[in-house]
Amino acid sequence: MKPDRLTLLRDLVAFDTTSRHSNLALIDYVQDYLTGLGVDSELVFDETGSKANLYATIGPDNIGGVMLSGHTDVVPIDGQNWHSDPFTLTEKDALYFGRGTADMKGFIACVLAEVPRMTSLALKSPVHIALSYDEEVGCLGVRRLIETLSGAPVLPRMAIIGEPTAMQVVCAHKGKRAFRVSVGGRSAHSAYPTDGVNAIEYAVDLIARIRQLQADIRVHGPFDQAYRVPNTTLHVGTIRGGSALNIVPESCVFEFEIRHLPEQDVDALVDEITDYASETLLPAMQAADPDTAITIESLTRYPGLATGRDEPVIGFVQSLLGGDRSTEKISFGSEAGLFKGELGIPGVVCGPGSIQQAHRPDEFVAIEQLGICAGMLGRLVDGLCESSLPA
């Protein structure tokens, strides 16, 4: 007797796979489950061997099929006020509560629960299962899987990334760049500020430039009204600097991010910021002290997703869901942009649960949502038995 969807979800939630921890216990559990069903899987480890991606193909291995992709890590519960144990699946009012239920162990449980049917039927095109680590900290883990896949003789033809979209078909999302800026000035007694170089004040000048760029974009675009926030956004999220009011601060560090429309020329935007630092601010600082510096370090980046409306994957997934489903665009990112950008695999984002519940205390997925997802996957398997994928 193989575990059902509920048992799988309960077991998956019980693994504390917060990104800072190993995900190997969960990966071992999934690998054992697949092995028990006669499915081989490959693990792609991180450099320390403490985390792994899992990749498996069910069905013919000489042609590409549909990849079902999810990340195994979850965001921390630190500082969150939960009404139940985040790592114990708890049912209330037809909702399953627990960390990762929406983002995105609910999807993974639905996929795994469908594997017995995938193996017992004769699929004409395969299903690929791709589980990653460290998605929540910048889509890091999947890059190793992508590297491995880039040498594979056969690649998936299309991908469904099961991030929580309330089972809407998402064909586009924004990309992201994140940076840390370190301004190194010179300290001095604050009674003699001209003896120093005030790192906080130069940092603020650069932040003002970032805000100016944001203001320009808000007026001039580009815009895409299909997004809730219809333009690229720039935002400063953290800042630290100074040690005492009567000392000219020697150091200031801040972090900012750009969440950009796929069609935005984000390199040009980054150049505007780095050029302003190196051509306007730095000469002024170094006129006072040549040892001062501004360093801008890239923290993470992932591309946006813009799956063309004519890509077969969109109509294919819409048909699996039945009814008249429009496509949507979302502002949060996923691994779909990397699969498309690095491997050319077109994909959509579609999974159970809502992003409104993700990353929050009392995260939940509605049982109804899991049912819709299971229905989609069931029709996917039926469809792959009847005929191979649309060209």
Catalytic amino acids?
Answer: 73, 135
User: Rounded to a whole number, what is the distance in angstroms from the first to the last CA of the chain?
Assistant: 37
Identity of the residue, 358 or 366, whose beta carbon is nearer to Zn ion in the bound complex: 358
Give the tokens for residue 148.
């491995």
Identity of the residue, 163 or 224, whose beta carbon is nearer to Zn ion in the bound complex: 163
Q: Which stretch binds Zn ion (CB under 5 A): 46-54, 58-66, 87-95, 157-165?
A: 157-165
Identity of the residue, 103 or 328, whose beta carbon is nearer to Zn ion in the bound complex: 103
Give the tokens for residue 151.
């040498």
Q: Helix %, strand %, coil % for the chain, to 5? A: 35, 25, 40
Identity of the residue, 136 or 362, whose beta carbon is nearer to Zn ion in the bound complex: 136
Which residue among 16, 73, 103, 134 contacts Zn ion (CB under 5 A)? 103
Name the residue with tokens 């969109």.
Answer: 314
Q: Which stretch binds Zn ion (CB under 5 A): 123-131, 161-169, 249-257, 297-305?
A: 161-169
Min separation Cβ 105 and Zn ion, Å: 10
Distance, CA of 197 to CA of 250 (rounded, Å): 7
Distance, CA of 351 to CA of 309 (rounded, Å): 19
Identity of the residue, 353 or 383, whose beta carbon is nearer to Zn ion in the bound complex: 353
Sheet of 90-92, strand order: 90-92, 95-97, 364-366
Name the residue with tokens 């589980």.
Answer: 131
Q: Tell me which residue of 374, 360, 359, 364 sits closest to 135, measured CA to CA.
A: 359
Phi, psi of 110 (to 5 degrees): -60, -45
Distance, CA of 82 to CA of 84 (rounded, Å): 5
In three-state form (DSSP H/G/I as H, E/B as E, the rest C), the secondary structure along 31-46 is HHHHHHCCCCEEEEEC
Count the alpha carbons within 13 Å of 170 in the hemisphere toward its beta carbon. Answer: 29
Q: Which stretch binds Zn ion (CB under 5 A): 109-117, 156-164, 285-293, 368-376?
A: 156-164
Total residues interacting with Zn ion, rule: CB under 5 A:
3
Distance, CA of 283 to CA of 267 (rounded, Å): 23
Closest residue (Cβ) to Zn ion? 103
Distance, CA of 283 to CA of 58 (rounded, Å): 60
Amino acid in position 314 = I
Beta bridge partners of 134: none
Identity of the residue, 114 or 163, whose beta carbon is nearer to Zn ion in the bound complex: 163
Q: Which stretch binds Zn ion (CB under 5 A): 10-18, 102-110, 189-197, 267-275?
A: 102-110
Q: Which stretch binds Zn ion (CB under 5 A): 158-166, 258-266, 268-276, 343-351?
A: 158-166
Identity of the residue, 104 or 167, whose beta carbon is nearer to Zn ion in the bound complex: 104
Distance, CA of 159 to CA of 180 (rounded, Å): 33
> Counting contacts by CB under 5 A, is residue 73 touching Zn ion?
no
Distance, CA of 2 to CA of 13 (rounded, Å): 18
Query: Given the rule CB under 5 A, which residues bind Zn ion?
Result: 103-104, 163
